[in-house]
A and B are shown apart, each in its own frame.
Chain A
C-alpha cells in the first residue's frame, strides 16, 4: 500500500490556515454547522487539522485504528458525541470530515500539478484516509445516539406509573400516556400485586392522563377490572373526560358493570362511602 508523501504532509502543514478557511466555508455552505457555535466549530476544525497533520508526520500506518491516530480518534469521538447531543443527524456529523475533501483535493492538485500519476495516488490515499475517519465518526455518533435513546428509555421507565395508597383499603393507579405498550402489562401487574400485599378492597384506575382510549386500551382496562374483581376487590375507573365518554359510546364499547367517575375526587368519595367512612369538617 502506498503512503502519503512527505510533500503532501508538508503541503498540508504550510497551507493549514487557508485549508481551514475553505473547509469552514464549505461546512457552512453544506448546512452541517446547524446548532454548532461558530467558535466551537473553528476550534474543532483547527484541532482536527492539527492532530491529522501530527499523525501524518509520525508517518507509518495509514490505518486509523493505529495508535498514531489515537488523538484524532478521541477528538472525533468527542465531536460526534457533542453533535449527537445538540440533535444533529449522522449525515451532518459525517460531513464535518467529508467537507474537508474538497479543499484538500484542490490543494493537492496545485501541489502535484506537474505529476498526474502521483496526484492520483495521493488523492486516493487521502480520500481513503478521510473516508475511514468519516466512518469512525459515524460509528461513534451512532453509539452516542444509542446512549441518548437508552437514557431516554430509562427515564421513561422511571415515569412508569406508581400505585399509590389513598386511604386504608383504597389504592389508586394514575395512568399516564400511551397505554398500548408493554408498560400497561407491567403497571397492571404491579396493581394486582399491591392489592394482594395491602389487602385493599377498592382500586381506582385514573385515566385522566391517557389521551386516547381505543378498543385496545378498553380491553386492557376491562381485563384488569375483571382480574381485580376475581381477587375480591372492587374497581373504579376515574378521569373519564367528556370527549372520551362520547368516543367510547361511538366506538360501541360496553363498560356496563364497570363503575366510572369523572374525576379522582368523586372516585375517592365513593370509595369512602363504601368503606363506611364519613369525612366531616372539624368544628
Chain B
C-alpha cells in the first residue's frame, strides 16, 4: 500500500461539515470514484463530521489517498477530544441516539463505506477511521 497524499481538515463548527464534504467530494473525484460510491462516502463524511462537531465538541478530519492492488481509495479519520462513547454496542445500534437525531449516523456511515474502525473510550475522545475504495 502506498501513500499518495494526505492532509488534515478542521471540523470545529457546523460550517466545517459542509467544507469537509466538499473536500472529500473533490478527493473522491480525483480518485475516479463512481458517482454512487462518491455519494455514499460524502454522506458518511457528513454524518461523522457532524458527530465530531455535535458530540465531540469539534475535532479534525485527517485524509489520505490510499492505493492497493491498482485500486485507489480515500481514507478518513475523524478525531475529537470529546467525552468519548461509553457503550459502543449501544452506540452501534440502529435508532439509538444520545442527542436529538435519528440514531442512524454512526451505523449508517458504517454501511456506507468499505472499512470502518471505531476507537473510543470514556473521557479519551473518539476516533473513527473509514475507507472507501473506488
Contact = CB atoms under 8 A, between A and B. Distances in A.
Given A251-B112, A252-B111, A215 B40 contact: no
SS of B interface (majority): helix
Interface string B1-44: 00000000000001001100100010000000001101110110
Contacts, number: 65
B14 A252 contact: no
Contacts of B101: 215-216, 219
B70 interface: no
Contacts of A216: 46, 50, 101
A139 to B, nearest CB: 25
B108 A251 contact: yes
A212 B42 contact: yes
A214 interface: yes
SS of A interface (majority): helix
Interface size class, chain A = 20 to 34
A204 to B, nearest CB: 23
B125 interface: no
Interface stretch (A18-26, A67-75, A194-202, A240-248): A240-248
Contact of A250 (B25, B40, B42, B46): B40
Interface of B: 14, 17-18, 21, 25, 35-36, 38-40, 42-43, 46-47, 50, 94, 101-102, 104-105, 107-108, 111-112
Interface of A: 178, 180-181, 211-216, 218-219, 242-244, 246-247, 250-253
